[in-house]
Amino acid sequence: MTKVLFVCLGNICRSPMAEGLLKKRVSEAGLSDHFHIDSAATSTYEIGRPPHPGTQAILVKESIDTSQMVARQITRDDFQTFDWIIGMDQSNVEDLKRIAPVTAQEKIHLFLSEVPGKETKNVPDPYYTNNFDETYQLLSEGIDYWMQTWKKSK
């Protein structure tokens, strides 16, 4: 089983959007039983809150249920549980590497690191940019590349 955790600052915009998109893609591919997918925040700012209305609107348009999504902060156990811990921007990755045990460092990746030509780019936070469509497009593109990566790693 491939265990994937998407991480952003508050767990209300980018990471739940990525979680929802990946769940949809693996379901469409008939691979739901082979993946455990979740999302979390590096901060405590939004704990207990549902996804941002802009994220909900995008996901609902894609027929992705957001009713069970609730913001949470990453835990120490997550570094053991998940095989892939994917931060949305360099700041997330730095925070994750700072708090992760030494044994989990290699699990941490930048989301766009798998997308040719965008390997060092950040996924912009629509909480600040208010451009949820741009974030969705980048996440959608990135998910395709991540699925190829996971397929190769099997």
Alpha carbon distances (Å) from 132 to 50, 78, 148 = 16, 27, 25
Q: What are the residue numbers of the active site?
A: 8, 14, 125
Name residues whose C-beta falls within 8 Å of residue 8's C-beta, 6 or more positions apart in sequence: 14, 15, 39, 41, 42, 87, 88, 89, 92, 123, 125
The residues facing 37 across adjacent strands are 4
Token pair in block for residue 117: 């030509």
What is the Cα–Cα distance from 22 to 24, expressed in whole angstroms?
5
